[in-house]
Structure 1
Amino acid sequence: MTPEVAAILGLSAVTLVLLLGALFATTRQDRRPLRSGSPGETPLPPVEVVQPPPRPSAGHVGIDYPDPRTIKVGDTIDRQGVRTRVLGALYLSWQGKQWTEYLLDDGTHRYQWLSIETHDGPTPDDPPHLEVLLWTPVPTQGMIPAKTTLSVEGVEFFPVERGTAAFRSEGVTSMPERGLLDFADYRAADGRLLCFDRLQGQPWNSSHAQPLPPGSINIEKKS
């Protein structure tokens, strides 16, 4: 073998080695697994989920305070320092809803109605709550409840609900034992409530409501 041929073969061998090395490096790079971070990086700590503080309990009806649904005709109730006697009750139902209204007398023939209704919570996981309203008659000077906004004593009331409820009466109510009661409920922007009701065929009556916390009522059962 001449020196020239040996030199050519040596250069060819070196070139082949370099080409194989480059091909091997390229193949390793293409098979590298994809990762979200590079080796040597400190992994981020897990995100800490902060739990909201538990909501304070508003008390339990029948445990922390008397259950107003146990009021009976003849009982005496003390509401915010005012003692009244329960003269009668109306048990009403409308479209699957049921509620009770009690006629109260404070001894001065100043009559008011106390309505008690159970409402479902905003979600199925929320417990039901009681709505307790004290209704006081207000003069509306023959006003008829319209399906639009009403202005009473300078306050705008918006229609909420209206219908005809079936009722059963007990005690002194000035109502028949059974019958139908038309009603129309309104609400003002500040939350005040206004209601029109009438025994079918009779003139309309009107009253406004004051909400009462269930725990503000003490019940003295009839002996």
Structure 2
Amino acid sequence: MTPEVAVILGLSVATLVLLLGAFFATTRQDRKAGDSERSGETPLSSVEAAQPPAQPSMGRVGIDYPDPRTIKVGDTIECQGVRSRVLGALYLSWQGTQWTEYLLDDGTRRYQWLSIQMREGLTAGEPPHLEVLLWTSVPTEGMIPAKATLSVEGVDFFPVDRGTAAFRGEGVTSMPERGLLDFADYRASDGRLLSFERLQGKRWTSFHAQPLAPGTIRIETKGG
């Protein structure tokens, strides 16, 4: 065998060894990936890609935005882009639960009530949250709140709470300074709220509620 032939054969053998090594390495990697997929494991790159984007902070009451519980009679607030004067307030209590309702006047004689209440979490481990509701009077044509489902304007409302709350009034509320208020609350399957209220011995009045985020209430000026 000539030297030239020996060199050519040596190079051919080396090339073959490199090709076989690359083939087996690729086969091992493919098998490992296939085993991971079958075992339910997900490559790290896929896990990172599946992570949802970070959600913006919801803010902290009293730090990132004013605490609605600090509203006082005589304040001017902005709610849903409408400036209103706080004419009066009712401080209510029922079975250890306390909440406040503010009577708002936007200057058009359209009076609304803004209720503020700290609610417990709906499930175990869920932290308490601040519930803010804007109540608007609605006609119910003399309807009396029953303990069963009510149908108003084609919407079925299911009973939630019912009782008699003690209250103390401040400012202009069209209510006595102190008294007892009967109430009956209802909720529709889509989350809408309906509430009936009356001073004991008086006629029922009804309201629809619209939930608001606490941070949407702006306290513009403080009353004197």
- Scaled by the length of structure 2, what TM-score is found? 0.74
Match of 2:75 in 1: 75
Opposite residue 175 of structure 1, the aligned amino acid is M
Give the drift of 1:87.
Answer: 0.2
Question: Residues of 2 paired with 1:168 and 1:204: CA distance?
Answer: 19
Question: Residues of 2 paired with 1:72 and 1:188: CA distance?
Answer: 32
Gaps of at least 5 residues in structure 2 are 1-40
Alignment of 1:47-196 (within 5 A): 57-122=57-122, 125-196=125-196
- Scaled by the length of structure 1, what TM-score is found? 0.74
Give the drift of 1:55.
Answer: 6.8
Larger Rg: 1
Give the drift of 1:180.
Answer: 0.3
Question: Residues of 2 paired with 1:122 and 1:109: CA distance?
Answer: 37
Displaced runs of 4+ in structure 1, greater than 6 A? 52-55
Distance change in 2, residues 1:124/1:187 (3 Å): closer
Gaps of at least 5 residues in structure 1 are 1-46
Query: Identity across aligned pairs (percent)?
Result: 78
SS state at 2:69 partner: helix
Distance change in 2, residues 1:123/1:141 (3 Å): closer
Opposite residue 113 of structure 2, the aligned amino acid is W
- Which string of whole-angstrom CA distances, capped at 9 and with x for unpartnered residues, describes residues 64-121 of structure 1? 1110000000000001210000000000000110000000000011100000000122
SS state at 2:203 partner: coil
Question: Residues of 1 paired with 2:94 and 2:56: CA distance?
Answer: 34
What count of residue pairs does the alignment treat as equivalent?
179
**Structure with the higher fraction of residues in helix conformation:** 2
Question: Residues of 2 paired with 1:204 and 1:55: CA distance?
Answer: 44
Q: Supply the RMSD in Å over aligned alpha carbons.
A: 2.2
